[in-house]
Amino acid sequence: MKVGILCYPSYGGSGVIASDLARHLARRGHEVHVFSYETPFRLQQFEANLFFHQVEVLDYPLFRFPPYLIALTSKIVDVARTAQLDLLHVHYAIPHTPAAYLAREMLARERKLPIITTTHGTDITLVGKDPQFFEVIRFSLESSDGVTAVSHNLAIESKEVFGLEKTPRVIPNFVDVEAYIPQQNPALRSRFALPEEKLLLHISNFRPIKRLEDVVKIFAGVNQVLPSRLLLVGDGPEKVTALQMAQQLAVEERVHFLGRQENVAEIFALSDLFLLPSEKESFGLVALEAMACEVPVVASKTGGLPEVVEHGLTGYLAPVGHTDAMIEGSLKILSNPLLHRQMAERGRKVALSRFRAEPIVDAYEQYYKEILNES
Ligand code: GMT
C-alpha cells in the first residue's frame, strides 16, 4: 500500500505513535509518506520506503496567522498525485482531518483517497470541543472513511462529543519493547540520588492538563516519609508553577528539571516510580513506556488510563486531584520491595502481552484493507 501519514512532529504521544507506525509499515514493505512541518524526532534516521514531506508556509507580511491548512492540503494533493497514494492516515484531528478532507475532495475526479482519522485525546476532549473548531472537526470526522481511537474511553467520548454515527474502532497505542527495557545504570542513577533515596519521575509537555502541582505535592508527601528525588522531564507553561510549588513545599533542592530529552528509555530505567496525576489522558503513552521499563505507575483514574495501568497490579490509580491517596499508593509501592518487584514485572508483562507493536500494526494494516475495500 502507499500510505500518507499526517502528524505533529513534536514530542507528544500522537507524533510518537504516528512515526513508529510509519517505520513499521515501511519495514513491512509499504510505501509511507509522512507530512508534517518538521521531521518528526523519531524519523530522523534513514528508512527505505519512508519519505518525509515538509510542509512549509509562505511567510507574507499580510499573514498574521500562517495558513498551514492550505499549505498542508496542497502538499497532500501534490504527493498523492505523484506517488499515487492509496489512503491517508491522519493522527490528531486538528487541523489534519480538514486538510485531508479538502485534498480528497480536490482529487475526487482523479482518484479515490480514503481518509482514516486516529483521534488521540485533546483533539477531541479539549481543543476539539471548543466552538472555534467543533463544527469543522465534527464534519471532517464524520466525512472520514474510518475513525479509530487509542482507547475505549476515547472512542466513546469521540462518539458522544461529536454525535458520530459509528463508534470509532479502538486500536490502542503500542510501545517498542526492545527500546523500552529494564536496565541498571548505577553510575547515572548516582548523579541524581543516593543509594538509599527513591527516584520518582514525571515526563510530559508541562501543560495544565498534566497537573504539575500535583506531581510536586505527591513527591513532597513521599519525601516526608522516604527520602527521595524527583526528575521532571519535559518543558511547557507549567514549569514555573512546578518550581513555585517545590519552593513552597521546601523540596526544590530535591527536584531536578531535566528539560526535553530524546532518550527517555534510559531515564525510565533509573526510576523507582512514575507519576501521572493528569486531569485527563486518553491513553497515557508515557505510563505504558514506564511499565515496559518495569517502573510502577501512580496515576489519575481518568480517561483511558485504567485501560493501561491495572490498579493494584501495575501501580495505583486515584481520582483526579486526590494527592493524599496518590501519596499513600506511592508509599505502599516504595516501602515494600516485594510489591515493587511484583508490580514492575507485571508492568513489563502487560506491555509485552497487550501493547507490543506487531499485533497493533497488524490491526492498523487490517483496518486499512477494510477501508480500501469499502471505498
Ligand atoms: O498529552 C498531550 O497533551 C499530548 C497528546 C498528543 O497529541 O500527543 O497526547 C495525547 O495522545 C497520546 C497518544 O495517543 C496519549 O497517550 C495521551 O494520553 C493523549 N493526551 C491526552 O489525552 C491529554
Q: Is residue 220 situated within a structural domain?
A: yes
- The total domain count for the chain is 2
Q: Is residue 85 situated within a structural domain?
A: yes
Q: Are residues 205 and 328 in the same domain?
A: yes
Q: Is ligand 1 within 6 A of the CB of residue 144?
A: no
Q: Is residue 180 situated within a structural domain?
A: no
pLDDT tens sequence across 43-56: 888 889 999 999 99
**Half-sphere exposure of 93 toward its Cβ, with a 13 Å CA cutoff?**
31
Beta-carbon contacts of 38 under 8 Å, excluding residues fewer than 6 positions away, are 9, 54
Q: Are residues 210 and 164 in the same domain?
A: no
Average pLDDT, stretch 69-77?
Answer: 97
The pLDDT assigned to 123 comes to 85
Nearest CA to ligand 1 atom 23: 281
Beta-carbon contacts of 25 under 8 Å, excluding residues fewer than 6 positions away, are 1, 3, 32, 361, 364, 365
The pLDDT assigned to 44 comes to 80
Domain encompassing residue 50 = 2-174+356-374
Phi/psi at 25 (nearest 5 deg)?
-65, -40
Q: Where are the beta strands (DSSP E) in 242-284?
A: 255-259, 273-276
The pLDDT assigned to 100 comes to 98
Question: Using an 8 Å Cβ cutoff, are 122 and 209 in contact?
Answer: yes
Phi/psi at 198 (nearest 5 deg)?
-95, 150
Does residue 116 register a pLDDT over 90?
yes
Question: Using an 8 Å Cβ cutoff, are 23 and 48 in contact?
Answer: no
Q: Ligand 1: which atom is nearest the Cα of residue 173? A: 14
Q: Please give the Cα distance from 289 to 284 (Å, whole number).
A: 9
3-state SS class at 195: coil
Q: Which of 16, 285, 305 to mutate to test the pocket of ligand 1 (most atoms within 8 A of CB)?
A: 285
CATH number for 350: 3.40.50.2000
Q: Are residues 163 and 200 in the same domain?
A: no
Q: Are residues 361 and 349 in the same domain?
A: no
Q: Are residues 203 and 304 in the same domain?
A: yes
Q: Are residues 163 and 272 in the same domain?
A: no
Q: 200 has which bridge partners?
A: 230, 273
Distance 91 CA to ligand 1 centre (A): 11
Q: Are residues 10 and 144 in the same domain?
A: yes
Average pLDDT, stretch 190-199?
Answer: 95
Q: Is ligand 1 within 6 A of the CB of residue 91?
A: no
Q: Is residue 156 situated within a structural domain?
A: yes
Q: Are residues 120 and 190 in the same domain?
A: no
Q: Are residues 113 and 204 in the same domain?
A: no
Average pLDDT, stretch 175-195?
Answer: 93
Q: Are residues 30 and 115 in the same domain?
A: yes
Distance 190 CA to ligand 1 centre (A): 31
Q: Please, which pLDDT band fits residue 325 given cuts at 50, 70 and 90?
A: very high
Q: Are residues 336 and 258 in the same domain?
A: yes
Q: Are residues 258 and 163 in the same domain?
A: no
ipTM: 0.96
Q: 53 has which bridge partners?
A: 35
**Half-sphere exposure of 5 toward its Cβ, with a 13 Å CA cutoff?**
32
Q: Is residue 181 situated within a structural domain?
A: no
Dihedral of alpha carbons 2, 148, 15, 139, sign: positive
Q: Is residue 179 situated within a structural domain?
A: no
The pLDDT assigned to 337 comes to 97
Does residue 11 register a pLDDT over 80?
no
Using left for φ > 0, alpha for ψ between -120 and 50, and beta otherwise, residue 373 falls in alpha
Q: Ligand 1: which atom is nearest the Cα of residue 288? A: 16
Q: Is ligand 1 within 6 A of the CB of residue 122?
A: yes
